[in-house]
Chains A and B, each alone.
Chain A
Amino acid sequence: MLVGPLFLFILFTFFIPIGDMLFRSVENSIVTDILPRSTKLLADWDSTTNELPSEAVFAAMVADIKEGRKARTITRVGQRLNYEAPGMSSLFRSSARKTKRMKEGPYKPALIKAHKRWGKVETWKVIKQFIPKYTAGYFLAAVDAKQELNGDIVRLGDEKRIYIDLFWRTLRLSLIITALTLILGFPIAYLMAILPTKSSNLLLIFVLLPFWTSLLVRTTAWIALLQQQGVINELLVFVGLVGTDNRPQMIHNEFGAIVAMTHILLPFMVLPLFSVMKTIPKSYVRAAVSLGAHPWAAFWKVYFPGTIPGIGAGAILVFILAIGYYITPELVGGTTGTFISNRIAHHISSSLNWGLAAALGVILLGIVVALYLLYDKIVGIDNMKLG
């Protein structure tokens, strides 16, 4: 089997990592790993009675915190719980310091004295929520919802909703970019298709050159063009269209992201369109015209339907690429032109909420896989061509 080695390689370097991400988006073992004794006892505690857990649970918690403090893992529990209930991080941090002096029981009053939140049933309910090995909590957070302590799932208040809006924005911007690449790509693909091979090959180079040029080069170029002191603004000031004091803001916003990404993704629209249009015989339109059709009608009724497979292929390709774009929105998008991928990156490298990053990633992956299946249905993966 010649396919074997690559199959194993892709499995290890690519599929297992993606699987790892799926696992992390539901994984919930951090609290039970670091607080093993207390969570074990807490599992038997009946939270509906609204009574604090027994002395044994408090003793186990003190032991867990002491151990966690030594292993320096206790702050991670606090951090994780803090995503669900603000204040938990400081609760664990300050209690960790004070448990040092708790040599013997009874631990219940001692711990409550160390921090009054230990005396509240809600605190224990939050911890109890983390006993199951898997959680839907990250996914709920990714769609701006959360699970209440009584098990109900509620949507967050309007001011706290971020991700649904961000998903909509990502979809909206990707659609705009797809539409723009189609509007700009269709005429030039058509021109290349009707010109003789020699001239169209020359024009093809103009499409392929940006396609082959580093993404960062193209993004840098747009920064140079669009920034406040950039080429386009200088030109506008020079011809007197705008005053030097009110130069339009064209970058680090939605506009900049749309322009730069339309430029970057345009070749991905033109190439499939061109390869489909090349196969439509020019004589069809001529025949229609000679039979008395208006040139417009001939184009619209005879030529255009033939290009639909190319439009479908190009549009889905551009849309898939746009929806997962990271670099360009990060550099030219500012705050209003960011995509969901920027948020994923933020949670991986800045806020370190990896579970939420993984959940957002899984949702994005689901959207892309659905589109990919659609692409396969329309074009077929085997027909994918490059350059």
Chain B
Amino acid sequence: MGKLPPYLSLPERLWHYGFRLLCGLIFFFLIFPLVVVIPLSFNAVPFFTFTKEMLALDPAGYSLKWYEDFFTNLNWQGAVQNSVIIAFFATLLSTTLGTLAALGLSRPTMPAKTLVMSILISPMIVPLIISAAGMFFFYSRVGLQGTHIGVILAHAALGTPFVVITVTATLVGFDNSLIRAAASLGASPTTTFFKVIVPLILPGVISGALFAFITSFDEVVVVLFVGSFKQRTIPWQMFSGIREQISPTILAVATILVIVSIALLVTVELLRRRGERLRGIQET
């Protein structure tokens, strides 16, 4: 940052710093709302605001009671349980189906590739409210509305496009002669799949699975319609919490979720780098 060429004129220097200041403000706009949630969740009073005690850094102004509420309240604990169960099975389903489909799509012999691809990723494009409405109508016809299976199927459908996209992306650099080489050296198709294909596409599969997991874990529109109180997930509970009685427990949950998303972000980034290194793509 500090090495501006010495020949720049004053307006150019002003512009340089002014532009960086502007960008700084925009980054502040992006991050500040996430940061502000964290101290507010340690509030001692049940409001969404900084009290005088908090600003004076008085320990009496802070409390862990909203975290305690989160960890002891049965509504929230049920929500955590449901979120994990639903996200786990939805991820399993969408990762398996999505990986298979991506392998099929990447074959050179695949007919009507673009059309099939656009059909497979359409759950990502259609607005959630429309998917939710359609699923609500159809699932209540076939008796899946208000069941765990219904929500899992719905979330798996929403998650598959991410798996298809990430796995297809790792297969772009895939050298098909590796398969022939493995076969010519006497490997069976199964051995080739597990020893040659899987290790190469694994980063893509895992990051696709993470996308699918977070899609389900974060999803609220579909679960509001397809699910009921029994299928309440964390976002479901937060949504009804914000609408009914607003309590800083929601901020405590929000803080925990911010930390979870940081962990996921780091994982995906590491996987992406590993994938690029494995396939020999140089970082530019």
Chain A residues proximal to chain B, CB less than 8 Å: 1-7, 9-10, 13-14, 16-21, 24, 184, 187-188, 191, 197, 199, 203, 205-210, 212-225, 227, 229-231, 234, 263, 266-267, 278, 295, 320-321, 323-327, 331, 341, 344-345, 348-349, 354, 357-358, 361, 364-365, 368, 372, 376, 381-382, 384-387
Inter-chain contact A368/B125, CB cutoff 8 Å: yes
Mark B residues whose CB is within 8 Å of A: 1, 12, 19-20, 22-23, 26-27, 29-31, 33-34, 36-37, 40, 47-50, 93, 97-98, 100-101, 103-105, 107, 110, 114, 116-123, 125-139, 141, 153-154, 156-157, 160, 162, 164-166, 169, 211, 214, 217-218, 220-221, 225, 235, 238-239, 242-243, 246, 250-251, 254, 257-258, 261-262, 264-265, 268-269, 272, 283-284
Shortest distance from the beta carbon of B162 to any chain A beta carbon, whole Å: 7
Chain B residues closer than 8 Å to A323, beta-carbon distance = 127
Contacts of B136 in A (CB 8 A): 348
B138 touches A17 (CB 8 A): yes
B34 with A14: CB separation less than 8 A = no
- The answer to whether B160 and A6 touch across the interface, beta carbons within 8 angstroms, is yes
- Is A230 within 8 A of B98, CB to CB? no
Q: Of residues A212, A219, A267, A344, which shows the largest number of chain B Cβ atoms within 10 Å of its Cβ?
A: A212
CB atoms of B48 and A230 under 8 A apart: yes
A376 and B49: CB pair below 8 A?
Answer: no
- Smallest CB–CB gap between A320 and chain B, Å? 7
Whether the Cβ atoms of A263 and B30 lie closer than 8 Å is yes
Check if A18 sits within 8 Å of B126, measured CB to CB: yes
CB-CB nearest in chain B for A347: B133
User: Considering only CB atoms, which chain A residue lies closest to B152 in the complex?
Assistant: A13
Tell whether A210 pairs with B34 under 8 Å between CB atoms, given A187-B19, A327-B239: yes
| Given A21-B137, A326-B128: A217 touches B22 (CB 8 Å cut-off) | no
Contacts of B164 in A (CB 8 A): 6
- Shortest beta-carbon distance from A325 to chain B in Å: 8
Partner of A372, one of B104, B125, B246: B125
Which residues of the partner chain B approach A324 to less than 8 Å between Cβ atoms?
Answer: 126-130
| Residue pair B133, A344 in contact (C-beta under 8 Å) | yes
Residue ID in chain B nearest A192 by CB atoms: B23
Nearest CB in chain B: distance from A327 CB, A? 6
Give the interface centre of A2, A4, A224, A326 by most chain B CB atoms within 10 Å: A224
Determine which residue in B26, B110, B169 has the highest number of CB atoms from chain A within 10 A of its CB, and name it: B26
Q: Which residues of B contact A212 (CB under 8 A)?
A: 214, 261-262, 264-265
Asked whether B157 lies within 8 Å of A224 as measured between CB atoms, the reply is no
Instruction: Specify which chain A residues have a CB less than 8 angstroms from the CB of B162 in the assembled complex.
Output: 386
> In the complex where A9-B97, A212-B265 touch, is A224 in contact with B251 (Cβ < 8 A)?
yes
Distance A210 CA – B30 CA, assembled complex (angstroms)? 7
Contact residues in B for A9 (Cβ distance below 8 Å): 93, 97, 156-157, 160
Shortest Cβ distance from residue B262 to the other chain A in the assembled complex, whole angstroms: 7
Total A-B residue contacts, Cβ distance less than 8 Å: 250
Instruction: Name the residue in A208, A216, A348 with the highest tally of chain B Cβ atoms < 10 Å from its Cβ.
Output: A216
Chain A residues with CB below 8 A from B265, complex form: 205, 208-209, 212
Contact A220 to B250, CB < 8 A, known contacts A324-B129, A365-B130: yes
Contact A20 to B138, CB < 8 A, known contacts A341-B129, A348-B133: yes
Q: Which residues of B contact A21 (CB under 8 A)?
A: 130, 133-134, 137-138
Pick the contact of A221: B33, B217, B268, B269 (CB < 8 A): B33
- Contact yes or no, B261 A13, CB < 8 A: no
Inter-chain CA distance A10–B156, complex, in Å, is 9
Beyond A331-B239, A331-B243, whether A386 also contacts B165 by CB under 8 A is yes
Among B20, B138, B154, B284, find the residue whose CB has the most chain A CB atoms closer than 10 A.
B138
Can you list 26 A-B contacts (CB < 8 A)? A3-B104, A5-B97, A10-B122, A14-B122, A17-B135, A17-B139, A191-B19, A197-B284, A208-B269, A210-B31, A212-B264, A213-B34, A215-B220, A215-B235, A217-B34, A219-B242, A224-B251, A234-B50, A266-B29, A321-B127, A327-B239, A331-B243, A344-B129, A365-B127, A368-B125, A382-B114
Known contacts: A17-B135, A212-B214, A221-B37. The answer to whether A361 contacts B129 by CB under 8 A is yes
**C-alpha spacing A354/B132, complex, angstroms:** 13
Taken together as a complex, chains A and B put the C-alpha atoms of A191 and B23 apart, in Å, by 7
Contact A224 B40 (CB under 8 A): yes
A183 CB to nearest chain B CB (Å): 9
Q: How far is the CB of A8 from chain B (nearest CB, A)?
A: 9
Q: Are B27 and A203 in contact (CB under 8 A)?
A: yes
A214: shortest Cβ distance to chain B, in Å? 5
Contact with B97, one of A6, A267, A325 (Cβ below 8 angstroms): A6
B33: chain A residues at CB < 8 Å are 210, 218, 221-222, 225, 263
